[in-house]
Amino acid sequence: MAVAEPAVAEDAGRAWRLRGAATPYLLLAPALLALAAVSLYPIFYGIRASFHRYRYGIDMGSAGTQNYVNVYHDPVFWQAVKTTAKFVVIAVSIETLLGLALALLVARELRFASWIRVSLILPMTIAPVVVGVIWRLLFASDIGIVNPLFSWFGLAQPNVLAHGTSAFLGLVAVDTWEWTPLIFLILLAGLHSMPQDPLEAAQVDGAGRVQAFFHHTLPLLKPVLLVAIVLRTIDAVGTFDQVFVLTKGGPGTSTQLISIYSYNTAFLFTQYGQAMAMLIALLACLLLLMAAAVRFMRRTSEAVA
């Protein structure tokens, strides 16, 4: 029995340790279940739907990979992917440059800095649908103010939404107006939290403003800048409301982003399976892109550290 006693104690200790290890998971379980129900289930349901065929609003059963094959052979889909990529690259680039410039300007102790900050973030607080309506009224060829403005300067009326290129650029302008403030805010926070010592040391060493910016501010700001770009890119890929209100993807297919095309495919053409296949394929591409961006960010952070 003298031998058995330590064994019993050891068992009890193991059980205690196990219970201790399991408790956090048990406590987390309800939250994880809720998360799975609201977050993971819809994704899995979407993936399942992408392998099913829908007809007359009814799930007709498995379609194998046919939806993906159809999407691959659909020229309109590729056109929408191209338009989305063009839109994201142009809009996010402009927003980043403008956001950075504004953040650098406002980060300095200007007299009306707080007022400028508030007025700059105002567009971001308006619902995207309302933004679409506001700009539709501005761009409209009959009652808008853009056409009369051009006439006033002696220029030909552009009829912004009636031509492919101008409608696309109009959309970029709207997105820039609405979302530059987000980049501005993130970068401003980054600038405020930046260590000042290296910058002051550089100034003491005689570095000019431009040199200090490129050699000190920008490298230190890089991780924050990347976060801002990644966030905006994810958001810009899903742009829907403004396009829906302004152009519905037209003229032709010039502003038909993937979000608009997949919406039409699902709810107008009732091809739910095909629409899901489009979105799943896009999600996969986006995840790869984001993984690359995150890896790049990590490397940059390590280099800065």
Query: Minimum CB separation from other proteins for residue 1, in Å?
Result: 39
Question: Cβ closer to other proteins: 6 or 252?
Answer: 252
Question: Cβ closer to other proteins: 96 or 271?
Answer: 271
Question: Cβ closer to other proteins: 48 or 298?
Answer: 48
What whole-number distance in Å separates Cα of residue 44 and Cα of residue 58? 19
DSSP string, 266-290: IIIS--HHHHHHHHHHHHHHHHHHH
What whole-number distance in Å separates Cα of residue 47 and Cα of residue 237? 19
Q: What single-letter amino acid sits at 65?
A: T
Question: Cβ closer to other proteins: 26 or 58?
Answer: 58
Query: Minimum CB separation from other proteins for residue 159, in Å?
Result: 4
Query: Minimum CB separation from other proteins for residue 251, in Å?
Result: 5
Question: Cβ closer to other proteins: 140 or 231?
Answer: 140
Query: Minimum CB separation from other proteins for residue 59, in Å?
Result: 9
**Alpha carbons within 13 A on the beta-carbon side of 117:** 16
Q: Rounded to whole angstroms, what are the CA distances from 56 to 45, 49, 156, 263?
A: 20, 15, 48, 17
Query: Minimum CB separation from other proteins for residue 24, in Å?
Result: 21
Q: Peptide bond before 251: cis, by omega within 30 degrees of 0?
A: yes
Query: Minimum CB separation from other proteins for residue 142, in Å?
Result: 5
Sign of CA dihedral 275, 282, 176, 232: positive
Q: Taking each helix axis from N to C terminus, what angle separates 75-107 and 164-192, rounded to the nearest 10 degrees?
A: 40
Count each helix (H run) and each strand (E run) in the chain, helices first.
14, 2
Question: Cβ closer to other proteins: 66 or 203?
Answer: 66
Query: Minimum CB separation from other proteins for residue 58, in Å?
Result: 5
Question: Cβ closer to other proteins: 53 or 216?
Answer: 53
The structure tokens listed for 66 are 């046919």
Q: Strands (DSSP E) along the chain, which ranges?
A: 52-55, 58-62
**Alpha carbons within 13 A on the beta-carbon side of 234:** 14
**Alpha carbons within 13 A on the beta-carbon side of 157:** 14
Binding site for other proteins (CB under 8 A): 55-58, 70, 140-142, 147, 157, 159, 161-164, 167, 247-253, 264, 267-271
88: Cβ contacts below 8 Å, ≥ 6 apart: 233, 236, 237
Query: Minimum CB separation from other proteins for residue 145, in Å?
Result: 14
Question: Cβ closer to other proteins: 181 or 249?
Answer: 249
